[in-house]
Amino acid sequence: DMEDMPILIKVKGKCTTDHISMAGPWLKFRGHLDNISNNMLIGALNSENEAVNSVKNQFTGEYDTVPGVARDYKAKGQPWIVIGDENYGEGSSREHAALEVRHLGGAAVITKSFARIHETNCKKQGLLPLTFANPADYDKIAPFDRVSIQGLTSFKEGVPLNLH
């Protein structure tokens, strides 16, 4: 089971693969995966502050870029999750959109719904793509909540996991 994970970002509204791994800024980060990951989720709208590329670090209380906070969590050995809205990851098939999240320590993405190809890419990268049984549960999660996912030891298709 995954216990007491911070939410890196609760995404509000549309979040395409271009929001997750922007094509334009990618050019200045070109090179290996660690460099490219500096554009992870920089276009996603944070539900907490209505800003892009600005999230609160749950350990320091300071705001930083999304990749900056993810790197801090990773350095602390702290896996984190993303909460997404509807059709998360729609758009062009961009493997880096899943790979960057996993590389920087993401453990799961929990959404109202996924774009099919992005959901598959998450699975291929070992990033757990989960959907709310009731999409309205998205509204019950606050951006600063800590989340535990229970039931992974007996995880199989059609058997719900518990989110606390």
Q: What CATH number is given to the structural domain containing 75?
A: 3.20.19.10
pLDDT at 30: 63
- Contacts for 64 with CB less than 8 Å, ≥ 6 apart: 54, 55, 57, 72
Confidence of residue 34 (pLDDT cuts 50, 70, 90): confident
CA distances from 94 to 40, 87, 159 (A): 12, 15, 29
Average pLDDT, the chain: 92
Q: Find the mean pLDDT for residues 59-88.
A: 98
Range of the domain at 51: 2-163
Domain count, the chain: 1
Does pTM surpass 0.95? no
**Chain position carrying tokens 């959404």:** 111
pLDDT tens-digit series, residues 77-135: 999 999 999 999 998 877 889 999 999 999 999 999 999 999 999 999 999 999 999 99
